[in-house]
Structure 1
Amino acid sequence: MELLDWVVIAAFMAALIGVVIWVMKKGQENTADYFLGGRDATWIAIGASIFASNIGSEHLVGLAGAGASSGMAMAHWEIQGWLILLLGWVFVPFYSRSMVYTMPEFLEKRYNPQSRTILSVISLISYVLTKVAVTVYAGGLVFQQVFGIKELWGIDFFWIAAVGLVVLTALYTIFGGMRAVLYTSVLQTPILLLGSVVILVLGLKELGGWDEMMRICGAVPVNDYGNVMTDLIRSNKDPNFPWLGALTGSAIIGFWYWCTDQFIVQRVLSGKNQKESRRGTIFGAYLKLLPVFLFLIPGMIAFALHQKSIGAGGAGFLPMLSNGTINADVAFPTLVAKLLPAGLKGVIVCGILAALMSSLASLFNSSASLFTIDFYKRFKPQTSEKKLVVIGQLATAAIVVLGILWIPIMRSIGDVLYTYLQDVQSVLAPGIAAAFLLGVTWKRTSAKGGMWGLITGLIIGLLRLGANVFYSNVPGAPQSLFKYVFYDINWLFFCGMMFLFCVLVIVLVSLFTEAPPLEKIQGLVFGTATPAQKAETRASWNHWDIIHTVIILGITVAFYIYFW
């Protein structure tokens, strides 16, 4: 890092501080202001926030690392623009009519208070133990590699970077609320995109072009069934990414994440009306087409550069692990450190900062919303709006502390960090996805049906995670039906079967319990909207929204055809 790089970073931080100060001057008088930015966000802010919230350390470390280690396999999860369209076209009208602040609150309106509590608990635990801690962990890893600093003032630079990142982000989230998250995303998103495009272009230039990357990676087998790194669709016998499991599993996980997770949906709830919210999802869907090229492909480029260097008798491009394999997780920061000149390196660091801070800010704000609205306000409904904002700020601070305390455990996991995350998401998603999907598509879905679907998903998920921990540490354990079902079955196939089982539970329980009265589900399920509600939704879109939707779907199909 040279002086020019530090000047660029200082300019970025000054602009960020300016945005937060401007937001604070607008005031945060009530919970709608603090948690949803006053419900007056435009489509640009919503779409940018959806994208910037999604892009975090998982992409800078995990996705680029996946590209360097397994090629195109993880692209199924990233070419998910069509699922954001599902949020805009299908779920926005229901969420808008319900006027809720959180997804658990929506489940209470559709089902019962117990369903709200179950989803709140699952969401808060998953945020603290996975998203917050992992983002911070990977952030410290990235900055340690980019800056090339092992220790500072006698302290491991990892901790300085990780804790500094958390504290800085927490400050502007606590004082700025949802408006700070939205408007800083508008600043951060173009910087992140610019920096990543620079890495992509310079990486391809260094390697010798796109065809050279495809040639080198296309010659590397990834299984015993003829598949190579550049294959997106792999044999159904592939132990990690069988094509049927990848298509269904990524769709279920993607549906849960993009259409029902508070972390993402809160961006849409902040929209001033259905039109702005839907167009925000369309804009976000366009942006979501980019990560494959901005993060996964650079990982493949780093791998190809490594192979080319080894073939030419060099030491290799990527650092090696002690077991003799490449350290794929540092693919992106290694490209930054080795390819960029002064000034541009500062821009990339700003982009990385933008990704990490925006993702963390969204997590903090969403977690604070869940605690304040779904727990505190329910037990103390007479609490004033100003005090609820303060409670939200305190909840954010508590989540920050818990996230930091969990970092040592995350750091000790090391190489299996992203495998752990995939397992958690694959068993977290099915029950929630089933409850929301049937909740808005089938009027007969009862309160007890939805509740037992969530409970079933939680129990099966805990059994699967427990089996993973146990059998991973007891390799000589005897074969049994339990071991086969909860451990041996591929995680993607298990995700699909778990979703179908949760759907079956919801259907059966609903058929044997009392149907919800029409007045309770008015406007929350297909076929229950009033003429006025239908007219409002119909007036919120026009032919341009349809055209852009078709374009996004067309690009997705073209991508699958090219990398088939």
Structure 2
Amino acid sequence: MSNSTTNFYARSQSFSLSDIIVVATYFLLNLAVGIWSSCRVSRNTLSGYFLAGRDMAWWPIGSSLFASSEGSGLFIGLAGTGAAGGIAVAGFEWNVSTKNIVTMPEYLGRRFGGERIRTYLAVLSLLLSVFTKISADLYSGALFVQMCLGWNLYLSTVLMLVVTALYTIAGGLAAVIYTDTLQTFIMIVGSVILTITGMSLNKIGGFGNLEHVYSIAVPSKIIPNSTCHLPRADAMHLFRDAVTGDLPWPGMTLGLTILATWYWCTDQVIVQRSLAAKNMSHVKGASIFTAYLKMLSFVFIIVPGMISRALYPDSVGCVDPEECVRVCGTEVGCSNIAFPKLVIELMPSGLRGLMIAVMMAALMSSLTSIFNSSSTLFTMDIWKKHRPLASERELLLVGRIVTVILVVVSVVWIPILQSANSGQLYDYIQSVTSCLAPPVTAVFTLAVFWKRANEQGAFWGLMVGLAVGLCRMVMDFVFPRPGCGVEDSAPVVLRDVHYLHFAILLCGITAIVVAVISLLTPPPRPEQVGSHPRNKQLSEGTPCLTMVLENNPELCHSYTFNIHTKTSQTHLYKLQHHKPYIYHNHSCLSPPLCL
């Protein structure tokens, strides 16, 4: 395996002055927005740094949700999978439009009690950040820069990190959300220009001719007595055969729903944006706004990937290992270069710079989100648990150090990522997620819909699910997918069970373990399942107030009341003039902010 910058990375189009001006303008805009947002919200408090002061409206949150989920890994990965297999991968994006659920990261801890589950989820999220998020985004963004500038892959990675980390570490979540809003606009405009204005579609005779041109996109150098060089016959089918399909329909309906529930309802990167909203109405509005934006991915990312395969089958569709190494530096395939190849070859000066800015926007938006959320997880759920009296200064410093450590580990993981899953980045991301996320979905679903589920059942269900999932993930790396024309020697459970089908099985196994152990152990307390009288008196979105002892933030008073009543308003006035307490307004059904 190599990441040489020769041959293919010798650019066929020069990087002109107008391209440089466009990219420089983008960075200046990004810097200006980051500085403005950092000044708008205090960065010297935990609430200001990690939750943007909890004062965000629906449109920047919705934009940030979209930009964070559409990182450079998805631009490269979705386009690459579209180039390799057609439109079925769009199901991963469209699935979100059916999710209208809003959750809180502390929910499972509040629902079951104890600290084991909360700590486990924090550690799991950090692992997923390294394996599927930071490393994938760094690799894909660096690949794009490498193709544009001809730089070494790891030099490009360092450039990405320096630019991204500067305003993330300095600005906190407010800088992340507002720069995401700018980047969402740039991503959509750039992708529209690439797809709609006709530069790529005109090359193949319009969208109506795409299926035909794609079906005959065969590389000139093939492997005898094999069929892997042929485009899939079902490339234009969203639902594919349950056994032979590369994305089988049972997995795309049930398995994908399991993964989507984990990502959109429990993943810290997504949840943290919702926690920054003014109220529940803005959270719901942001979720709906994001769902509509996600519908655009098929047209502006996947279709360009298929167009790239149709126009450049010798590079994007290569199957011969030697040829693939010459083209993109890896033996297992070059579908990941589909999107950047199209940009470099087709876009004129100026617009090429805009698309480079689009990729930079996608990379930076997702990385900043992951950096901020991962540091929040470690700081608040792990470090603060062991050092409850740690000062805000210490917690902020720890969060920034954790960001640096995660980045270093992720860079080390990039060579493994390059050769995984036949070189299809998005396939790799979903495969790893299918091994680790389904147990969380099972526990979360049972926590919401089955009051008898308790902490013992949830914890051991997560442990069993983790053990089974890790076994599958280890086998995935021990027995990588064979190259074209090579016999598959992987065990039957790996060869014949698609990772989306495995996600269904893993979720089911976890649910059974949770149910059995919960029934064999004492039930949860009434206040943990929402049947406590106090929980019924408070309505969703009602403004409430929580008292926090100023000199000991760990002592958060449980006394909460509706501040709209006359009695409460009188009591509120008295409380606010009684020191040494600090008061935080929040929704009655959201957790009080005890920082």
Scaled to the shorter chain, the TM-score interval is: 0.7 to 0.9
> In the alignment, what sits opposite 1:261?
267
> In the alignment, what sits opposite 1:395?
402
> In the alignment, what sits opposite 1:146?
148
Code of the residue aligned with 2:308 in structure 1: it is A
Code of the residue aligned with 1:431 in structure 2: it is P
For 2:392 and 2:531, locate their aligned partners in 1 and report how far apart those are by CA, in whole Å. Answer: 27
The alignment's TM-score, normalised by the length of structure 2, stands at 0.79
How many residue pairs match? The answer is 503
How far 1:415 sits from its partner (Å)? 2.0
Deviations along 1:24-53, one digit per CA (max 9) or x if unpaired, are 324213211111111111101110000000
Select 1:491's aligned residue among 476, 489, 499: 499
Higher alpha-carbon deviation: 34-43 or 483-492:
483-492
Select 1:353's aligned residue among 360, 382, 389: 360
For 1:265 and 1:182, locate their aligned partners in 2 and report how far apart those are by CA, in whole Å. Answer: 13
CA spacing shift, 1:186–1:484, aligned 2, 3 Å: same
The alignment's TM-score, normalised by the length of structure 1, stands at 0.83
> In the alignment, what sits opposite 1:110?
111
> In the alignment, what sits opposite 1:100?
none
Select 1:451's aligned residue among 446, 454, 459: 459
Q: Does 1:244 pair with 2:250?
A: yes
Select 1:58's aligned residue among 69, 73, 80: 73
For 1:478 and 1:318, locate their aligned partners in 2 and report how far apart those are by CA, in whole Å. Answer: 26
Select 2:293's aligned residue among 287, 302, 306: 287
| Kept after mapping to 2: 8 A contact 1:163/1:404 | no
CA spacing shift, 1:486–1:514, aligned 2, 3 Å: farther
Unpaired segments of 5 or more residues in structure 2? 1-14, 218-226, 325-332, 544-595
Three-state SS of the structure 2 residue aligned to 1:191 is helix
CA spacing shift, 1:267–1:427, aligned 2, 3 Å: same
For 1:207 and 1:486, locate their aligned partners in 2 and report how far apart those are by CA, in whole Å. Answer: 38
Three-state SS of the structure 2 residue aligned to 1:233 is coil
For 2:425 and 2:183, locate their aligned partners in 1 and report how far apart those are by CA, in whole Å. Answer: 26
For 1:473 and 1:245, locate their aligned partners in 2 and report how far apart those are by CA, in whole Å. Answer: 19
Q: Does 1:17 pair with 2:31?
A: yes
CA spacing shift, 1:469–1:234, aligned 2, 3 Å: same
| Kept after mapping to 2: 8 A contact 1:192/1:352 | yes
Higher alpha-carbon deviation: 389-398 or 132-141:
389-398
| Kept after mapping to 2: 8 A contact 1:439/1:445 | yes
| Kept after mapping to 2: 8 A contact 1:174/1:397 | no
Map residues 329-408 of structure 1 onto 2, 5 A cutoff: 329-408=336-415
For 1:335 and 1:42, locate their aligned partners in 2 and report how far apart those are by CA, in whole Å. Answer: 36
For 1:412 and 1:242, locate their aligned partners in 2 and report how far apart those are by CA, in whole Å. Answer: 23
> In the alignment, what sits opposite 1:555?
none
How far 1:409 sits from its partner (Å)? 3.9
Code of the residue aligned with 1:368 in structure 2: it is S
> In the alignment, what sits opposite 2:126?
124
- Higher normalized contact order (CA 8 Å, seq sep 6+, divided by chain length): 1
How far 1:521 sits from its partner (Å)? 3.4
For 1:385 and 1:256, locate their aligned partners in 2 and report how far apart those are by CA, in whole Å. Answer: 30
| Kept after mapping to 2: 8 A contact 1:41/1:270 | yes
CA spacing shift, 1:198–1:473, aligned 2, 3 Å: closer
Deviations along 1:48-84, one digit per CA (max 9) or x if unpaired, are 0000001112222111011111001211111123344
> In the alignment, what sits opposite 2:429?
421
Map residues 198-213 of structure 1 onto 2, 5 A cutoff: 198-201=193-196, 202-213=199-210
Code of the residue aligned with 1:470 in structure 2: it is V
Q: Does 1:500 pair with 2:478?
A: no
Map residues 508-523 of structure 1 onto 2, 5 A cutoff: 508-522=516-530
Deviations along 1:90-133, one digit per CA (max 9) or x if unpaired, are x3xxx3xxxxxxx3x43222222111121111111121233111
RMSD of Structure 2 on Structure 1 (CA) = 2.8
How far 1:416 sits from its partner (Å)? 5.8
> In the alignment, what sits opposite 2:20?
6
Structure 1 or 2: more helix by fraction: 1
Q: What is the percent sequence identity of the aligned residues? A: 36
For 1:190 and 1:472, locate their aligned partners in 2 and report how far apart those are by CA, in whole Å. Answer: 38
Deviations along 1:426-482, one digit per CA (max 9) or x if unpaired, are 111210001111112221111111112211210110111123333449999999xxx
CA spacing shift, 1:535–1:141, aligned 2, 3 Å: closer
Three-state SS of the structure 1 residue aligned to 2:247 is coil
Deviations along 1:306-344, one digit per CA (max 9) or x if unpaired, are 46xxxxxxxx67474643577321111111111111111
CA spacing shift, 1:498–1:244, aligned 2, 3 Å: same
CA spacing shift, 1:473–1:244, aligned 2, 3 Å: closer
Q: Does 1:302 pair with 2:316?
A: no
Code of the residue aligned with 1:62 in structure 2: it is G
